[in-house]
């Protein structure tokens, strides 16, 4: 390597080397280039450097020939001290041969705005002297592209919030810091209530606007150190570092619920957003990031089940309950595949003649470990998971075949009265499925009664009216199940031509004896008479209940006072015995009444 040149300060050793063609090439280079001696003095600059100086960049990037780079760096104001230290250390490392190249990125305010540059220093031997080649290259477009790639990789495009990847990175850092500081970390899993309904009814543009507004409201409700990320759809996850107590997380959750519920204008519609929030704490609930988020998610679903628009903390009790639910769901799926279900039947009697006029099929599950399970043990889960669709089809097919068999044995007008849930009704292809089963089994549609919950008539009849009307056009009868809690559905009952009202068993249970329940039951029966609709009293378990219904001319009755649900062969045996005796209603009730379902 060359040595330091001890030449006069007025002598520029660069000029002879750059004479002629060399000087032209030097000026033609696009990077801003300056040549420094080993003391930091600027020996020469090219045309790009001179043009750059006209933009008035800050020192040391605005030096002229003869200025000293090192001295200028030492005089840079304190706010730029990090940059000046980097330049000084880089220069000395290259000068001493510790680095072959020093590279550093910096931003500078120049005429026209902020630009990014890459500074490079490399050793340069010239005429036996050790010099430094200093270059600046404008990398603003490259930095913008890098920032855009970083944004796409770590931020949500719609809301501008951190995404799942960045959230996990920050959560890992927060957990490490919490260990050092012996603090708590909270993870909140936030899910909007009924977002799908808003998206479907008002459109995706309105849904996007809602998500953007929610993102901003959440950010405004958090501390500067907190992080909110959008995971997917309407799911937001929040990181709360440096918590002293679980109540700290409660306060923030309450603030979120309040801020999100403020009225929002979406197009021509005013809506009041709400959300459900689950909270998990580190290190009390879990020590790994994935488990912590999973537990917060479980707690959020518990908040949904608790009525929505609230927050719930994770607990081991909740975890055990969820694990049991997951196990039950797995068992349910296996049970469908391995045909572990069966149907029991409970008869419906005509109260005036005592004849057997209909049967209600009730699901039973022959669980390998738990034994025979009634429907109320698993029907809600089958609804939530969608398994009710396959289960419902199986029950309808089996029920039609069984009642068809009984019809051929001497009860030609016997009806099958079976539940149809809202989820089943709204599933694509339900009408075709029912029609195909009727055709396959040869079952007369007039003998099929579909029991629809009263809540459907109250909350969502308009959107389901056409399919109910299509069932009626097939000849199928419609019953309103568990009727009596609201009489606002009467206009729909008349409009649709409902065939039967099933009085909710809670009114029967307290009649006679409770004046209010007696009055409601009597009013329903009278209403049925005026509308020419049959009325069924459900859950009859005592002789005085039957007598009360008889006195008020109720049409049909069902309950444990007459028959408990039974397998087909056992039920048929009972019916034949009664038919051979007097054909009337059974005089004695079973000794131990059970759940109607």
Q: What is the chain's length? A: 597
CB 37 within 8 A of CB 131: yes
Is residue 102 pLDDT above 80, yes or no? yes
**Mean per-residue pLDDT, 249-260:** 95
Between CA 523 and CA 544 the distance in angstroms is 18
| pLDDT for 325 | 82
| pLDDT for 485 | 67
CA max distance for the chain? 135
- Convert the pLDDT of each residue in 261-288 to its tens digit: 999 998 888 889 999 999 999 999 999 9
| pLDDT for 166 | 92
Cβ neighbour number for residue 197 with a 10 Å cutoff? 9
Is residue 523 pLDDT above 50, yes or no? yes
**Mean per-residue pLDDT, 48-61:** 81
- Convert the pLDDT of each residue in 283-299 to its tens digit: 999 999 999 999 999 99
Nearest alpha-carbon partner for 173 in 225, 104, 112, 245:
225
Between CA 388 and CA 132 the distance in angstroms is 78
Percent of the chain with pLDDT over 90: 50
DSSP string, 71-137: HHHHTS-GGGHHHHHHHHHHHHHHHTTS-S-EEEEEEEEETTEEEEEEEEEEEEEETTEEEEEEEEE
438-445 contacts at long range (C-beta below 8 A, 24 or more positions apart): 438/400, 438/474, 440/397, 441/397, 441/400, 441/401, 441/404, 442/404, 443/400, 443/403, 443/404, 443/416, 444/475, 445/474, 445/475, 445/476
Percent of the chain with pLDDT over 70: 91
Between CA 51 and CA 62 the distance in angstroms is 10
Name the pLDDT band for 457 (thresholds 50, 70, 90).
Answer: confident
| pLDDT for 152 | 78
Any residues with CB less than 8 A from the CB of 19 and at least 6 apart, and which? none
Between CA 543 and CA 528 the distance in angstroms is 23
C-alpha separations of 133 from 51, 234, 421, 547, 570 in Å: 18, 55, 80, 109, 101
Name residue, tokens 């537990």: 295
Name the pLDDT band for 1 (thresholds 50, 70, 90).
Answer: very low
Is residue 77 pLDDT above 90, yes or no? no
- Convert the pLDDT of each residue in 460-491 to its tens digit: 667 788 888 999 999 999 999 888 766 555 66
CB 551 within 8 A of CB 578: no
**Mean per-residue pLDDT, 351-370:** 93
Sign, CA torsion 194/198/204/205 = negative
C-alpha separations of 523 from 344, 361, 488, 516, 552 in Å: 32, 28, 14, 11, 10
CB 441 within 8 A of CB 397: yes
**Mean per-residue pLDDT, 181-196:** 94
Domains of the chain in start order, with CATH, are 14-144 (3.30.450.20), 157-314 (3.30.70.270), 335-581 (3.20.20.450)
Taking the CA atoms of residue 57, residue 60, residue 65 and residue 70 in that order, the dihedral angle to the nearest 10 degrees is 180
Name the pLDDT band for 63 (thresholds 50, 70, 90).
Answer: confident
Helices then strands, counting H and E runs in the chain, come out as 23, 21
What average pLDDT is seen over the chain? Answer: 87
C-alpha separations of 287 from 94, 172, 282, 313 in Å: 47, 10, 6, 16
Between CA 388 and CA 419 the distance in angstroms is 11
Name the pLDDT band for 22 (thresholds 50, 70, 90).
Answer: low
CB 528 within 8 A of CB 501: yes
Please, is 569 exposed, middle or buried when counting C-beta atoms within 10 Å of its C-beta (0-12, 13-18, 19+)?
A: exposed
**Mean per-residue pLDDT, 545-561:** 91
Name the pLDDT band for 8 (thresholds 50, 70, 90).
Answer: very low
296-299 contacts at long range (C-beta below 8 A, 24 or more positions apart): 296/187, 296/188, 296/189, 296/237, 297/189, 298/322, 299/189
| pLDDT for 18 | 56
Name residue, tokens 């007097």: 582
* Three-state DSSP class for residue 35: strand
| pLDDT for 11 | 43
C-alpha separations of 299 from 203, 247, 378 in Å: 29, 16, 21
Between CA 2 and CA 127 the distance in angstroms is 9
Phi, psi dihedrals of residue 416, rounded to the nearest 5° = -105, 120
CB 69 within 8 A of CB 91: yes
CB 191 within 8 A of CB 300: yes
Lookup: tokens for 274 = 């709400």
Is residue 499 pLDDT above 90, yes or no? yes
Between CA 208 and CA 206 the distance in angstroms is 5
Helix runs in 182-245, H state only? 195-202, 204-221
| pLDDT for 183 | 94
Between CA 257 and CA 277 the distance in angstroms is 8
Structure-model confidence comparison of residues 82 and 366, the more confident one: 366
| pLDDT for 14 | 53
Is residue 593 pLDDT above 50, yes or no? no
């Amino acid at each position: 390597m060359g040595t330091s040149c001890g030449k006069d300060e007025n002598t520029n050793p660069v000029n002879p080397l750059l004479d002629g063609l060399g000087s032209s090439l030097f000026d033609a280079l696009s990077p801003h280039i300056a040549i420094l001696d080993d003391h930091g003095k600027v020996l020469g600059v090219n045309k790009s450097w001179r043009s750059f100086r006209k933009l008035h960049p800050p020192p040391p990037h605005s030096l002229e020939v003869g200025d000293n780079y090192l001295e200028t760096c030492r005089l840079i104001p304190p706010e730029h001290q990090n940059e000046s230290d980097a330049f000084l250390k880089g220069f000395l490392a290259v000068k001493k041969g510790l680095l072959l190249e020093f590279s550093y990125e910096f931003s500078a305010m120049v005429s026209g705005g902020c630009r990014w540059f890459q500074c490079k220093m490399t050793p340069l031997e010239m005429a036996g002297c050790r010099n430094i080649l200093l270059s600046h290259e404008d990398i603003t477009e490259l930095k913008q592209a890098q920032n855009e790639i970083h944004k796409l990789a770590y931020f949500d495009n719609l809301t501008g919030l951190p995404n799942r990847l960045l959230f996990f990175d920050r959560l890992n850092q927060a957990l490490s810091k919490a260990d050092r500081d012996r603090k708590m970390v909270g993870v909140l899993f936030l899910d909007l209530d009924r977002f799908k309904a808003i998206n479907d009814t008002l459109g995706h543009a309105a849904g996007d606007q809602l998500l953007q507004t929610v993102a901003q409201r959440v950010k405004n409700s958090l501390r500067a150190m907190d992080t909110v990320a959008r995971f997917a759809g309407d799911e937001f996850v929040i990181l709360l570092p440096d918590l002293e107590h679980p109540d700290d997380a409660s306060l923030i959750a309450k603030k979120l619920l309040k801020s999100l519920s403020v009225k929002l204008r979406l197009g021509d519609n005013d809506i009041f957003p709400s959300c459900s929030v689950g909270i998990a704490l580190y290190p009390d609930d879990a020590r790994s990031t994935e488990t912590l988020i999973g537990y917060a998610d479980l707690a959020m679903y518990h908040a949904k089940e608790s009525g929505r628009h609230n927050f719930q903390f994770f607990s081991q009790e909740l975890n055990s309950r969820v694990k049991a639910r997951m196990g039950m769901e797995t068992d349910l799926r296996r049970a469908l595949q391995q045909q572990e279900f069966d149907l029991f039947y409970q008869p419906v009697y005509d109260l005036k003649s005592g004849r057997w006029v209909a049967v209600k099929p009730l699901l039973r599950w022959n669980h390998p470990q738990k034994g025979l399970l009634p429907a109320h043990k698993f029907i809600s889960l089958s609804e939530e998971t969608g398994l009710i669709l396959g289960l419902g089809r199986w029950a309808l097919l089996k029920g039609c075949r069984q009642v068809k068999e009984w019809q051929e044995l001497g009860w030609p007008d016997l009806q099958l009265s079976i539940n149809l849930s809202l989820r089943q009704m709204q599933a694509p292809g339900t009408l075709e499925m029912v029609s195909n089963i009727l055709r396959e089994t040869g079952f007369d549609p007039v003998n099929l009664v579909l029991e629809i919950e009263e809540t459907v008539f109250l909350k969502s009849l308009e959107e389901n009216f056409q399919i109910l009307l299509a069932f009626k056009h097939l000849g199928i009868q419609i019953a309103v199940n568990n009727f009596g809690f609201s009489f606002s559905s009467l206009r729909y009952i008349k409009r649709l031509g409902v065939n039967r009202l099933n009085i909710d068993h809670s009114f029967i249970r307290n009649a006679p004896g409770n004046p209010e329940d007696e009055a409601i039951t009597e009013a329903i029966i009278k209403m049925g008479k005026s509308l020419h609709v049959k009325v069924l009293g459900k859950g009859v378990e005592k002789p005085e209940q039957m007598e009360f219904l008889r006195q008020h001319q109720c049409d049909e009755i069902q309950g444990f006072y007459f028959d408990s649900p039974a397998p087909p062969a056992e039920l048929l045996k009972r019916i034949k015995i009664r038919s051979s005796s007097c054909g009337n209603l059974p005089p004695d009730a079973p000794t131990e009444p059970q759940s109607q379902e």
